[in-house]
Amino acid sequence: MMAFQTNQRIERLLKRYGREDSPEKWDFFVGHRPLVRYRMNRQIKKILELIQKNRKNVGEFTLLDIGCGTGRYLNHFLSLGKTVGVDISEPMLEKARKNTKDQAILIKADAENLPFKDNTFDVVTCSYLFENLNGPKDNPKKVFKEMYRVTKKGGQIIFTVETWYSIPNLISYILSFLKRKTPLNFYSVKKIRKLTTGVNPQSVKIYGLSPITVFFPWARDPFSMVKLIEKIDDKLEKFMPSFGAQLIVEIKK
């Protein structure tokens, strides 16, 4: 494992994610908000679909999940092949070790300096990370370049971002200002294009996820509408391909 150099940016990240209660807080946030859970499950389904479509059944399959947190996504990838997760936070990794029953390789590393050689992984994934790279010294472009570097030629990079054109995200943006906190780093299609310039991939595709939840200002599903929302999303995603509270970006290197 590469020596781990700390600095002001990493200290800030560890204050947020490196506390003993950070894993519980993150799992509580997802677990107790049915609409967040719904969108996360929808994300996982789409990511698995994209991986399966591109997958060639030859040789060993290797996947890296960056900012793997408590291993929520890793658990869905384990059956695909060799699965590696990196995170900056030891408590998050500890929880991921438990959640994956030690079946994934988990490494403490900084997404801006990944400890892997060029062209190592068939698939590199990343979820709920880019919007959280909102500190003055965070460099999302550097993270993207690292993801690209460690992906094999012909491999896939799949990451998700929250968009600013959704009511819940706009509310979160306004609340951050009122609470004098730094808002999350929300994205648009244009901003994704900017993030992904400077490399020469075979293709870049952007999929809108869950367009209807753009209009739901709450996350707790007080009217038990998840089933209905799912049906509407199934239809809308076909007509609004790059619109949603979240976007999934698929890049073929």
Ligand X SMILES: C[S@@+](CC[C@H](N)C(=O)[O-])C[C@H]1O[C@@H](n2cnc3c(N)ncnc32)[C@H](O)[C@@H]1O
- Judged by the rule CB under 6 A, the positions of this chain that interact with ligand X are 13, 17, 26, 67-69, 72-73, 86-89, 92, 110-112, 127-129, 132
- Decide whether 18 or 225 has the Cβ nearer to ligand X: 18
- Decide whether 92 or 251 has the Cβ nearer to ligand X: 92
Amino acid identity, position 174: I
- Decide whether 131 or 237 has the Cβ nearer to ligand X: 131
- Decide whether 107 or 189 has the Cβ nearer to ligand X: 107
Taking CA atoms, 127 is separated from 14, 17, 233, in Å, by 18, 15, 20
Nearest to 150 by CA among 58, 66, 248: 66
Contact predicate 66/129, CB 8 Å: yes
Give least dist CB 128 to ligand X, A. Answer: 4
- SS3 category, 201: coil
Order of strands across the sheet with 151-162? 105-108, 82-87, 62-66, 121-126, 151-162, 246-252, 203-209
Residue nearest to ligand X (CB): 69
Give dist(CA 77, CA 64) in Å, integer: 9
- Decide whether 75 or 225 has the Cβ nearer to ligand X: 75
- Decide whether 59 or 136 has the Cβ nearer to ligand X: 136
Give least dist CB 10 to ligand X, A. Answer: 7
- Decide whether 54 or 134 has the Cβ nearer to ligand X: 134
Give least dist CB 155 to ligand X, A. Answer: 19
Q: Where are the alpha helices (DSSP H) in the chain?
A: 8-17, 22-31, 34-54, 74-77, 90-99, 140-150, 167-178, 189-195, 226-239
Task: Tell me whether strands 151-162 and 82-87 are parallel, antiparallel or unpaired.
Answer: unpaired
Give least dist CB 218 to ligand X, A. Answer: 20
Contact predicate 94/23, CB 8 Å: yes
Amino acid identity, position 85: G
Give dist(CA 236, CA 10) in Å, integer: 40
Give least dist CB 252 to ligand X, A. Answer: 22
Give least dist CB 92 to ligand X, A. Answer: 4
Give least dist CB 177 to ligand X, A. Answer: 20
